[in-house]
Chains A and B, each alone.
Chain A
Amino acid sequence: MPMTAQPISSAPIIAAELHSVSRIYGGFAALRNLSATFNAGSCTMILGENGAGKSTLLRVLAGLITPTRGTVSIFSQSPQQQRRRIAYMSHAPMLYDELTALENLNYFARLYSVGKCACVGSPEMALRAVGLDPALTRTVGQYSQGMRQRASLARVLQSDPEILLLDEPFSNLDVASAHQMVELLADFRTWPHPSGTARTILLTTHQAHLAQSLADRTITMLAGQIASSTEAAA
């Protein structure tokens, strides 16, 4: 049998894909027949008014919500099968109030079987990366909203995700901290993943100006649908 040269595919790897996804709560449709593709290595900013379906979209991609109709795939598999590759940061900190930030991170590192993460190293280094002192003996319950947000970011970064889903990451931060977070996320995109896949970020925000430099695509949602999608100028 003659050997034939295989063409090298230049098609981008699809990190996440939604096909005709609807999510209906009682009589209210949070997502309506939504289809979208997110390439690996991209950073997408999702804008929209309250109730437009931004958070629902992220929760569907995280596998926390099953669509009423339609299909969701993360690297061609269901989100539940790809849990290790996704990290989700909600506007709630997803940390135990009674534990210190380091205790929280150590606990989640063990859940993810992360010894030393390739991107941010140990939990101590993850905390330093977000500007928190790992030696802080105060429990998370005694933190300010901004500190909780940063500890929450450290939690998701240490799991070394290929897809990072951020639901309003700048909402409780002062301007300086928000800019620091943007810089950290820009760095995160450049950190090589052991699998060789480029890192993908999807974030929702009401502060578009903050994430403008980070995002290479902006989606605006309206009543559970994508109203517009614009690519950033190269």
Chain B
Amino acid sequence: MNYLHHLLNHLRKDLRLEWRSRDSINGMLFFALLVVAIFALAFDPTAYPTTTRQISGGVLWVAILFASVTALNQSWTREQRNQLLDAQRMAPSPASALFLGKALANLAFVLSVEIVLAPIFIIFYNLHALGNVALLALILPLGTWALVVNGTFFAALGLRARNRELLLPLLLFPISLPALLAMVQSTTGILTNDIDPIQIGLWIKQLAVYDIIFTTLCILLFETILNAE
């Protein structure tokens, strides 16, 4: 059985587990909606359309970041139950396939929440993009992958920690700052059309490079994390 089959086996299992329980998606969706609603109530988006357009990229990504933490924390809890992590450690299957399968499943969960969240966000903040909207189709998956790949890794790192719910944001937020900056700047650039398209392109490239570097690091280090006692 080759690597791809192992990866798909893990991915299929994680998607099936979520389909049966819907723990992650429901929690994430309600959390993200609450963050968006609270920001909308804290200031009146319709009264200041220019300011709203300038900050909405940041609000959207902060909502996604906070919401994804709730799902990422849960993703390894299932493996801990019934000592399944031991079964995974003993299986003659590449550890990185387990990691990538879980990261891809998390990507699917967060993206599905974004699909529901985006139209609601546009209505709440009375938004219409002034720049090239098609670029969002590139920024959203790249940005989400940056969050989930590190989040999946750090959630595994904190598995044996007593207060892992707290540990994940403490590790994930600082390390995600370069990616978050690129996501927010490029999204704001598209919404406001204030930023030079070349500059937006540079932010997207920065995001892609960040994804490649951190995906490689996580894959290389995951086996050590999995087998740590």
- Contact across chains for B13 and A64 when beta carbons are under 8 A apart: no
Can you list 20 A-B pairs, Cβ within 8 angstroms, ordered by A? Answer: A63-B89, A66-B229, A88-B90, A90-B83, A92-B83, A94-B86, A95-B82, A95-B84, A96-B17, A96-B84, A97-B82, A98-B16, A98-B21, A99-B13, A99-B17, A110-B9, A112-B92, A113-B1, A113-B92, A139-B20
Min CB–CB distance A207 → chain B (angstroms): 21
Residues of the B chain whose Cβ atoms lie less than 8 Å from the Cβ of A110: 1, 5-6, 9
- Contact across chains for A94 and B89 when beta carbons are under 8 A apart: no
Min CB–CB distance B28 → chain A (angstroms): 18
Min CB–CB distance B21 → chain A (angstroms): 6
- Contact across chains for B86 and A88 when beta carbons are under 8 A apart: yes
- Contact across chains for A94 and B84 when beta carbons are under 8 A apart: yes
- Contact across chains for B91 and A112 when beta carbons are under 8 A apart: yes
**Interfacial residues of chain B within 146-172, with CB under 8 A of chain A in the complex:** none
Q: Is B205 an interface residue (CB 8 A)?
A: no
A97-B82, A110-B1 known; A83+B17 contact, CB < 8 A: no
Residues of the B chain whose Cβ atoms lie less than 8 Å from the Cβ of A87: 90
Q: Is A93 an interface residue (CB 8 A)?
A: yes
Min CB–CB distance B188 → chain A (angstroms): 40
Min CB–CB distance B202 → chain A (angstroms): 42
> Of A88, A107, A155, which one neighbours B13 at CB under 8 angstroms?
A107
Q: List the 9 shortest-distance A-B pairs measured between CB atoms, nearest first.
A: A92-B83, A113-B1, A98-B20, A111-B91, A94-B87, A110-B9, A111-B93, A84-B92, A83-B92
C-alpha spacing A65/B91, complex, angstroms: 15
Q: Is A101 an interface residue (CB 8 A)?
A: no
Residues of the B chain whose Cβ atoms lie less than 8 Å from the Cβ of A65: 229
A107-B13, A110-B1, A111-B6 known; A83+B82 contact, CB < 8 A: no
Give residues in A with beta carbon < 8 Å to B. 62-66, 83-84, 86-88, 90, 92-99, 103, 107-108, 110-113, 139, 155
Give residues in B with beta carbon < 8 Å to A. 1, 5-6, 9, 13, 16-17, 20-21, 78, 81-84, 86-87, 89-93, 229
Q: Taking CB as reference atom, which chain A residue is nearest B19?
A: A98
Residues of the B chain whose Cβ atoms lie less than 8 Å from the Cβ of A108: 87, 91
- Contact across chains for B78 and A64 when beta carbons are under 8 A apart: no
- Contact across chains for B90 and A96 when beta carbons are under 8 A apart: no
Q: Taking CB as reference atom, which chain B residue is nearest A104?
A: B13
Q: Taking CB as reference atom, which chain A residue is nearest B97?
A: A111
Residues of the A chain whose Cβ atoms lie less than 8 Å from the Cβ of B20: 98-99, 139
Min CB–CB distance B27 → chain A (angstroms): 16
C-alpha spacing A108/B90, complex, angstroms: 11
- Contact across chains for B17 and A98 when beta carbons are under 8 A apart: yes
A84-B92, A103-B16, A111-B6 known; A90+B86 contact, CB < 8 A: yes
C-alpha spacing A27/B229, complex, angstroms: 16
A99-B17, A99-B20 known; A86+B83 contact, CB < 8 A: no
- Contact across chains for A111 and B9 when beta carbons are under 8 A apart: yes
C-alpha spacing A83/B84, complex, angstroms: 16
Residues of the B chain whose Cβ atoms lie less than 8 Å from the Cβ of A94: 82-84, 86-87
> Of B6, B89, B92, which one neighbours A64 at CB under 8 angstroms?
B89
Min CB–CB distance B106 → chain A (angstroms): 17
Residues of the A chain whose Cβ atoms lie less than 8 Å from the Cβ of B9: 107, 110-111
Q: Taking CB as reference atom, which chain A residue is nearest B98?
A: A111
